[in-house]
A = this chain, B = another copy of it.
Amino acid sequence: MSEIEFRSDVTVELVRASANDSDVLFAARVSTQGEQTLESAASGTAADESKDRGLINFLMRDRHGSPFEHNSMTFYVQAPIFVFREFMRHRIASYNEESGRYREMRPVFYVPSEDRNLIQVGKPGAYDFEPGTAEQHKLLQEVIKRESESAYRGYQELLDAGIAREVARSVLPLNLYSSMYVTMNARSLMNFLSLRTKHPESHFPSFPQREIEMVAEKMEQFWVELMPLTAAAFEKNGRVSP
Contact A173/B175 with A26-B181, A103-B33 known, Cβ cut-off 8 Å: no
Q: Which of B70, B85, B132, B166 contacts A74 (CB under 8 A)?
A: B70
Is A95 close to B, CB under 8 A? yes
A binding-site residues for B, Cβ under 8 Å: 15-18, 23, 26-28, 30-35, 38, 58, 62-64, 66-67, 69-72, 74, 76, 78, 80-82, 84-85, 88-89, 91, 94-103, 106, 110, 112, 116-120, 124-127, 129, 132, 135-136, 139-140, 143-144, 146-148, 150-151, 154, 157-158, 161-167, 169-175, 179-181, 183, 185, 195, 204-205, 207, 209
Residue contacts A-B, CB under 8 angstroms, 26 given? A23-B74, A31-B96, A31-B98, A34-B103, A35-B78, A62-B125, A62-B207, A63-B204, A69-B183, A70-B181, A72-B72, A80-B170, A88-B89, A102-B124, A110-B170, A119-B163, A120-B165, A129-B164, A139-B157, A139-B161, A143-B171, A146-B154, A147-B151, A151-B173, A169-B174, A183-B185
